[in-house]
A and B are shown apart, each in its own frame.
Chain A
């Protein structure tokens, strides 16, 4: 009973401290829990790997900000790197002002890492990859892109005229985009699914935070999206797949966090079990 009371009255700060340790220790002493790839992740990977001809276009929607960066930023980097490795063109697009900074960081990082590990196949900003300028309007932007992408944005995120960029050659609207992967933790995913996929038939994949992953599963089942990366785990699986190809030397942000994720989960499971035991024991005591 003493233990039960201890559990129910435990100061939250002890839990925070143990959780912090659960996360820091695996970083210092990695265990290497095994990794299994799930079908929703594999199908996006396979699509980029096999179904897009050289010179094809992958559009990546960076609709997140620093608050969900930990989960979604690794996805942006790894998908862009994968597309570059197949000599595809990559366009980033964002419907929120903060997303522009995220996308630019991802582009800088991927280009730097790619060119470092592939000196014979250098990639260039504006030729192989770029960011479309932020334009307000959310659903209006998504709809207008279905008619004319260049006219929607006029410029790229670096102030260059889109009509003069090599990366935009032959791209008019969604018909010229082979795959769009929307990275967001908010309902903006639905905006893309409703308007770009529903109206213009744009092929879509979803990369989302774990919070929203359960919600978006139904769009996989209905085939509105071809696949999904859910949370850090999804990003880690993708990194794992790309790693097997051995073409990109960038840091695997998601994979190195997986041990920490697992150990935190174990800690939570223990907490949930203890909490429930305490709850039921107390309830029985009070009932008597």
Chain B
């Protein structure tokens, strides 16, 4: 493999280096790359929204399929813009009420089912040391997040066990986070060494 001849790979590589230059110290190259990223992601988002929402969900059904039911959600959506006008801004509460109401209705039962499944999963189907740790961990952590009782005596001791479990979990999460950050860096180095410089396969 040889050094890349594709113009866009060069752009991507130089931008990557510009961002990493921040590790040495803040500089105009870094700022340029950062602002470019913010601008492009907003622009990209808008174009995708335009095509996939306005065109496919509103324009096409109205113009080609003559589906006028689309007007109802469209009107509700447009009411959101009333927030910009002080004297009619209360109208924006209608679509918000709709979204909040429907959203809560949908999420409450599902959240319960979700909780049930988690509770069920805590109950061991076979008796081993691992299941015991899970039960003790879940209960003592719940006790730690108990606010109506003073943490002293028995409750205090259990909550100390709970916070120990929480800290172990944090340790695991911390390790995983380091791993993730390293992976991201590896992804970029791989790109630079392989796609750009062609040093490795």
Contacts and interface: CB of A to CB of B under 8 A. Distances in A.
B186 A231 contact: no
B189 to A, nearest CB: 5
A215 B200 CA distance: 35
B121 A232 contact: no
A188 interface: no
A195 B186 contact: no
B122 to A, nearest CB: 8
Given A97-B49, A135-B53, A23 B186 contact: yes
Contacts of B120: 222
Interface string B102-145: 01001100110110011011000000000000100000000000
Interface range for A: 35 or more
Contact of A261 (B24, B60, B183): B183
Contacts of A230: 176
A252 to B, nearest CB: 10
Contacts of B177: 210-211
Contacts of B176: 210-214, 230-231
Given A97-B45, A193-B114, A261 B56 contact: no
Interface of A is mostly: helix
Interface in A237-288: 251, 253, 256-257, 260-261, 264-265, 268
Contacts of B201: 251, 256
19 contacts: A20-B189, A23-B182, A27-B190, A70-B190, A71-B183, A71-B187, A101-B44, A134-B48, A136-B49, A154-B60, A211-B180, A212-B176, A222-B117, A224-B117, A232-B186, A253-B187, A256-B200, A256-B201, A260-B182
B45 A70 contact: no
A116 interface: no
Nearest to B185: A23
B49 A28 contact: no
Contacts of B111: 194
A261 B117 contact: no
From B56, B176, B189, B199, name the one whose CB has the most chain A CB atoms within 10 angstroms: B176
B179 interface: yes
B83 interface: no
Nearest to B53: A136
B157 interface: no
Nearest to A68: B184
A268 to B, nearest CB: 6
B159 to A, nearest CB: 21
Contacts of B114: 193-194, 198, 224
A187 interface: no
Interface in B18-51: 23-24, 41, 44-45, 48-49
Nearest to A17: B23
B44 A98 contact: yes
B78 interface: no
A150 interface: no
The listed residue with most A CB atoms (<10 A of its CB), out of B121, B178, B187, B188, is B187
